[in-house]
Amino acid sequence: MERIVVVGAGHMGSVIVRGLLDGMPQVEVVIVEPSAERRASLDGRAELAAAYEPRPDDLLVLAIPPQAFDSFADGLPRGACAQTTVVSIMAGVRLDTLSSALGTGTVLRAMPNLASRVGQSMTVLCPGDAVPAAGVDRAKGALSVIGKVLVVQDESLLDPATAVAGSGPALVAYLAQSFTDFAHASGFTAEDALLLTSQVLRGTADVLSEPGVAPESLYQQASTPNGTTAEGIATLREHRVRESVGAALEATMERARELAG
C-alpha cells in the first residue's frame, strides 16, 4: 500500500491530511506530530507518530515551520531519505537546501494557499531536476486533494507564486472587506453583506475560468459608457488601485525572497 507521511499537524498539514483521508482512501496516511496533546486531537483515521520512521518509497510532506527544518533533518539517520520523495510546503526553503540536508535529489517544493480548507487551493509545485516524471505525478496527485495544482520547472517562479497564489486569498479578502463594509453601511445586515460579497467573488471566479475570458475583457464588457460600472472603474483608476495592488504583490514577492535568503 502506498504510504504518505505528513510531518506537522498545523493548519496546512491538517488540511492536507483530511484531504488525503477523504480523497485517497486507498493510501496509508501517517501524521508525524511531536506534541502528544496535539496528536490526541487529530483525525483517528490516520496513523499517528511522534517521530518520522522512514520507509523506502515514502511520499514525505514537510508541513513544519521553516525554522524547525534543521532540527528535523538533523534527527534523521544518514541516508534515511535516499529513496523518499519529499514535498516541502515550507516557505523560503530552497530545493538545494532540502536536497543537501535530506540526502536525496527527489525533492519538490509546493506553495498551497488557505483555500485548501475548502478543496479550492491553487498550489504551485516545483520539482528538483532529479525528480522523475512519476515522482512529479505522485506529488501532484497527492496535492490535488486540496485543489488545483500547477507544475513549474523554474524555482524562481515560486516567489511570484507566493504573492499571487500563496498570499492572494488574503489580499483578495482584504479588498472584499471594502465590499462588505459598504453593503453593511448601506443597510444590509452583516450576514447579507457577506453573502453579496462572497457570491460576487465566486461568480466572477467562475466566469474567469471560462475559456478565452480575461479580467480586462470582463470589466470592459460590463462597463457600459456613462453607466454605473464605468463610473466605478474610473474611480478605481483615479485612485490608482491597480498600481496599489501591484505594489502589494511586489512587496509580498520581495519578502518571500528575503525569507529564502
Cell numbers standing for residue 84: 523518499
Torsional sign, CA 175, 179, 184, 185: positive
Q: CB burial class (10 A; 0-12, 13-18, 19+) of residue 57?
A: exposed
Please name every residue paired with 213 in a beta bridge, in sequence order, or none if there are none.
Answer: none
Please name every residue paired with 30 in a beta bridge, in sequence order, or none if there are none.
Answer: 5, 47
Q: Cell match 535530506: residue?
A: 102
65 is in an annotated binding site: yes
112 is in an annotated binding site: no
4 is in an annotated binding site: no
Contact predicate 114/169, CB 8 Å: yes
25 is in an annotated binding site: no
Contact predicate 61/13, CB 8 Å: yes
Q: Measure the CA–CA gap between 127 and 3, rounded to whole angstroms.
A: 20
As annotated, the binding site for NADP(+) includes: 63-66
**Binding site listing:** 63-66
